[in-house]
Structure 1
């Protein structure tokens, strides 16, 4: 039985990745500074550890039989949607750099065979809506739109350097927007799909919701089950260079809003207001991940319907709880 360590297992994607690895027959240890907020972990073991501390990284990697993990998936990060990363530059740079430096170093020293790092398309520059897709190699010369992207780019270089100097196969995926059930949906760190699902779920039929920007920003939204399938395929591939991971089809924020409203069955008025939006557009080549035979299976409409249903249930629980106090 292969053994895997999932760092960030208390988070949205990490929690789903644990489930994927268990379905594949792995023994899994999950590590995070907090337990999963919405679902009990399916990991065989779960440890609460702050991975900014190098000793905690070594503890996370230590097995009772003195052996080493076959695979480490490093998804731990201080992050959130634009509402968070636009005002938390110092926290993002400080906390994530410490996590990634210490965990990469500890994994290499521990003799880990395969190491996955979750990067982000935030490492790319702002784009115009009509620009052709850029490849992974177009990330350099670099000009990320925010500090989260700059730190991710640096952490990629750290991981690749250790991969060159140690017998550790490094795999890097640059995630596009990921969404689905069991993710943060309120509190300021939620991303656009979850925030919009919450706003619509909280609103009355024929009500009004506020949306940051003008609805013209272009993104790719990938359902979490498809994303973790891509992570697993990449980890077991021969692709040593960074890989863009996300759907091919793009959508504007206005498209996303309409899809959420359709899933709700409500009639809503949309009011666009000033707020942090990020880049104008994203359009990246998926040729590398497609070369592995990976194809997303869940459409935006189907994925949003699943996500909205889950968030609607969370909103109802919160409203019922508030009414009792």
Structure 2
């Protein structure tokens, strides 16, 4: 049985990856320090014979007993609320954490896939964004802690690939959604759905003309899985190319939730990208992959999940107190 380590395992995407690899017959070792993850995302795996969990911060030295065939590095804050609250930890997990995991992969002779992001493109001057676009990033802006952590992550991964001959893969993830998202993490979909469920007006930043492209989590996981087992070491966009403005998306959410909230407008955050749409030509050619779940169906499944949350979860303004997890 092949053994795989998945960091960020208690997070939204990490927990779905655990499910997929267990389904495919792997022995899965999940790792998380719960700075943004939640153990409830892994509750259904608690007694599974092919799953074990290690609570650990990947910015500290990592030791795994026994053989290891694959590593998926998905540990990182991923929403603006998170990385604006914990900027140093965000930079450390992208740099020190990635360095530790690349070293582990080298020691174990394991193949490693690194979770990068569409944020490496910054506020793009090219649309849609293809892998050969180098991006437009403000290195000293508030979002730079996330953008630059991911750009460095890609650079050190390629250095290990070229210098050590390490088997590496890099996935550039575009906006992904689905069950197990944190309701109040600041991203568009949980923010809108949470406001609708609480009877609040939907908040749109700027004039709402900025665009996003939303990929359902099952499609995202499929793309990641195929990329890991491909022979391609360079970055690959995995996302849904169907673009929509935030203003139009807000109206979709109001219709989906059957609510009568208004849309209110607030100032656009600094360096918030005005356009986000993946060019997935490479993924189609290389991986024979493209998303299958349309937005209408995916949003319904996601809203059905949010409706199951408790009143405490629904009205809690923050998911957790980050400070308790951070060393001085």
Specify the alignment match of 1:289 in structure 2: 283
Distance in 2 between residues matched to 1:214 and 1:88, nearest whole Å: 28
Distance 1:165 1:320, change over 3 A: closer
The Cα shift of 1:16 comes to 0.2
The Cα shift of 1:167 comes to 4.3
The Cα shift of 1:211 comes to 2.8
Distance 1:223 1:141, change over 3 A: closer
Provide Cα deviations, 1:85-137, integer angstroms capped at 9, x if missing partner. Answer: 3454333223432211111122212221x110000011113135xx5423212
**Equivalent residue for 1:117, pick from 114, 117, 122:** 114
Contact in 1 for aligned 2:210/2:245 (Cα 8 Å): yes
Specify the alignment match of 2:150 in structure 1: 152
Distance in 2 between residues matched to 1:275 and 1:88, nearest whole Å: 21
Specify the alignment match of 1:273 in structure 2: 266
Provide Cα deviations, 1:156-196, integer angstroms capped at 9, x if missing partner. Answer: 1111111223343101000001111112112xx34211111
Counterpart mapping for 1:169-188 below 5 A: 169-186=167-184
Are 2:312 and 1:305 equivalent residues in the alignment? no
TM-score normalised over the length of structure 2: 0.85
Distance in 1 between residues matched to 2:248 and 2:232, nearest whole Å: 33
Specify the alignment match of 1:126 in structure 2: 123
Distance 1:318 1:156, change over 3 A: closer
Distance in 2 between residues matched to 1:295 and 1:83, nearest whole Å: 30
Provide Cα deviations, 1:56-93, integer angstroms capped at 9, x if missing partner. Answer: x1x2x322xxxx2111101011x132233345433322
The Cα shift of 1:146 comes to 2.6
Distance in 2 between residues matched to 1:296 and 1:308, nearest whole Å: 19
Distance 1:304 1:141, change over 3 A: closer
Specify the alignment match of 1:15 in structure 2: 15
Contact in 1 for aligned 2:99/2:156 (Cα 8 Å): yes
Residue correspondences, number: 304
Counterpart mapping for 1:183-198 below 5 A: 183-186=181-184, 189-198=185-194
Contact in 1 for aligned 2:174/2:278 (Cα 8 Å): no
Contact in 2 for aligned 1:123/1:152 (Cα 8 Å): yes
The Cα shift of 1:312 comes to 2.0
Distance 1:212 1:17, change over 3 A: same
Distance in 1 between residues matched to 2:239 and 2:129, nearest whole Å: 13
Counterpart mapping for 1:1-325 below 5 A: 1-34=1-34, 35-40=38-43, 42=45, 44-54=51-61, 57=62, 59=63, 61-63=64-66, 68-77=67-76, 79-86=77-84, 88-112=86-110, 114-127=111-124, 131-139=126-134, 146-186=144-184, 189-203=185-199, 208-276=201-269, 278-291=272-285, 292-316=287-311, 318=313
Contact in 2 for aligned 1:111/1:167 (Cα 8 Å): no
Distance 1:85 1:212, change over 3 A: farther
Distance in 2 between residues matched to 1:141 and 1:266, nearest whole Å: 38
Distance in 2 between residues matched to 1:8 and 1:88, nearest whole Å: 16
Distance 1:147 1:227, change over 3 A: same
Q: CA RMSD in A?
A: 2.3
Specify the alignment match of 2:326 in structure 1: none
Instruction: Give the 3-state SS of the residue equivalent to 2:298 in structure 1.
Output: helix
Distance in 2 between residues matched to 1:10 and 1:73, nearest whole Å: 13
TM-score normalised over the length of structure 1: 0.86
